[in-house]
């Protein structure tokens, strides 16, 4: 099973199926029988391990080309367990436009535990180098940042990290292993909010982590088991099922997004488009060397004087909601929704304005999506 698409469908053989069922069973048991008191058994308690969850964990590890995978109850739980491998006094460099929930986790929880963080533009390797201190232990970033889709080179960042004996931790949610495999580019840990493209249907909350080597895997497993924010068997099965169709869904996401970007480029209401697939930008320059596609997200700014709230609320097909990566198209205003945790000053510093719109492009008919956007933009001229 060397082809990626085949791995998506079949996963890793578990040798734990006595019925001949095509899909791995959902094991709901919270505990498992010991044949003897001192028996060495694979399963003892569901928090520590579950066969259904294990199947998913093995599958994502194989897809990412890592040593071991771990499934969590949410993307933030996954990030929490990864940051928990560090000790008080350790310093971590992070991207300056990380997800708002990650920002909250860092500033309101981990800083209380005396972890130090410096937020920088990770796209600029010189700035990253200058941020390294004696107590720096890792560099954490999103391959495509949220919501401006700025692209950070995994290769270059990992090179800097290795030169300074640091870990490279990549949130690869927006790309998935279908479009990029950070571990192959030098990263040490990959994180996904599996709620998004891996699940793909807006019906489950989940997070996954893949570690590159045994040492890191042991630390992450200790945190997974010790903190206990594990993914349920039922949710593990939903993510497993979503992964099977990842390739066909992502191909449609990519195709639709390209068509919508082309449409947006023709509209005078659009001040600026943020999409790594647009040539002539630094984002494109980096992405074209490291990814197999530019993702299913596009952000854009409306011209000053146009009512962004009126626009997103007027759409009929595209739904106003946070999250992304699902079969249905979702739209939101970052300054009011996904990044509301940031102060106005912090938003402005990283380029989030009240005119910025983020669109997660689904797999509907592209013509229907474009018509919906066109009607929403046309409506703005009556509300100036």
Residue 155 annotated in active site: no
Half-sphere CA count of 57, side-chain side, radius 13 A = 25
Q: Which of 27, 99, 140, 178 is catalytic?
A: 99
Q: Indicate the angle between helix axes 214-227 and 75-83, nearest 10 degrees.
A: 120
What stretch of H or E contains 94? strand 91-95
| Dihedral of alpha carbons 34, 39, 43, 47, sign | positive
Judged by phi (left if over 0) then psi (alpha if -120 to 50, else beta), residue 95 lies in beta
Query: Nearest 5°: phi and psi at 228?
Result: 90, 10
For residue 345, give both structure tokens: 């000053």
Q: Which of 12, 47, 252, 271 is catalytic?
A: 47
* Paired strand residues for 81: none
- Residue 72: closest CA among 59, 89, 55, 53: 53
- Give me Rg for the CA atoms of the chain: 21
DSSP assignment of 302-333 equals EPTTS-HHHHHHH-SSSEE-S---SSS-EEE-
Residue 38 annotated in active site: no
Tracing tokens 């933030």 back to the chain, one arrives at 76
H helix intervals, 73-213: 75-83, 100-108, 125-131, 154-163, 176-179
Residue 171 annotated in active site: yes
Residue 196 annotated in active site: yes
207-211 vs 189-192, strand pairing mode? antiparallel
Q: What Å distances lie between residue 102 and 82, 96, 180, 319, 345, CA to CA?
A: 12, 11, 21, 24, 18
- Residue 296: closest CA among 273, 324, 331, 264: 324
CA distance 292 to 287: 9
- Residue 283: closest CA among 261, 313, 305, 255: 261
Q: Which of 90, 96, 171, 188 is catalytic?
A: 171
DSSP state of 291: -
Report the catalytic residues: 47, 99, 171, 196
């Amino acid at each position: 099973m060397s082809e990626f698409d085949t791995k998506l469908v079949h996963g890793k053989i578990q040798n734990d199926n006595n019925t001949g069922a095509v899909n791995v069973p959902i094991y709901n048991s919270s505990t498992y029988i010991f044949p003897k008191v001192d028996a060495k058994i694979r399963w003892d308690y569901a928090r520590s391990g579950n066969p259904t969850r294990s199947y998913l964990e093995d599958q994502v590890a194989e897809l990412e080309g890592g040593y071991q995978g771990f499934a969590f109850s949410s993307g933030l739980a996954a990030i929490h367990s990864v940051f928990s491998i560090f000790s008080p006094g350790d310093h971590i460099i992070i991207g300056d436009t990380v997800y708002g929930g990650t920002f909250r986790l860092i500033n309101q929880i981990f800083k209380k535990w005396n972890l130090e963080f410096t937020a920088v533009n990770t796209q600029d390797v010189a700035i990253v180098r200058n941020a390294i201190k004696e107590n720096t232990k890792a560099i954490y970033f999103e391959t495509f940042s949220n919501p401006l889709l700025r692209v950070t080179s995994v290769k270059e960042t990992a090179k800097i990290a290795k030169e300074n004996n640091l870990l490279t931790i990549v949130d690869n949610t927006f790309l998935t292993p279908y479009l990029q495999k950070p571990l192959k580019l030098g990263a040490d840990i990959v994180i996904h909010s599996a709620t998004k493209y891996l699940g793909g249907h807006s019906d489950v909350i989940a997070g996954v982590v893949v570690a590159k080597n045994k040492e890191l895997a042991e630390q992450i497993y200790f945190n997974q088991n010790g903190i206990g924010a594990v993914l349920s068997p039922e949710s593990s099965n939903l993510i497993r099922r979503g992964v099977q169709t990842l390739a066909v869904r992502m191909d449609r996401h990519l195709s639709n997004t390209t068509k919508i970007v082309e449409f947006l480029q023709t509209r005078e209401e659009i001040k600026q488009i943020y999409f790594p697939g647009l040539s002539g930008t630094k984002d494109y320059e980096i992405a074209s060397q490291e990814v197999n596609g530019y993702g299913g997200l596009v952000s854009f700014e409306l011209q000053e004087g146009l009512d962004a709230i009126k626009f997103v609320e007027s759409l009929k097909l595209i739904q106003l909601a946070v999250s992304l990566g699902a079969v249905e198209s979702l739209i939101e205003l970052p300054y009011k929704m996904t990044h509301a945790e940031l102060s106005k000053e912090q938003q402005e510093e990283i380029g989030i304005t009240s005119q910025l719109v983020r669109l997660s492009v689904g797999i509907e008919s592209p013509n229907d999506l474009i018509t919906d956007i066109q009607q929403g933009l046309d409506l703005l001229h009556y509300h100036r």
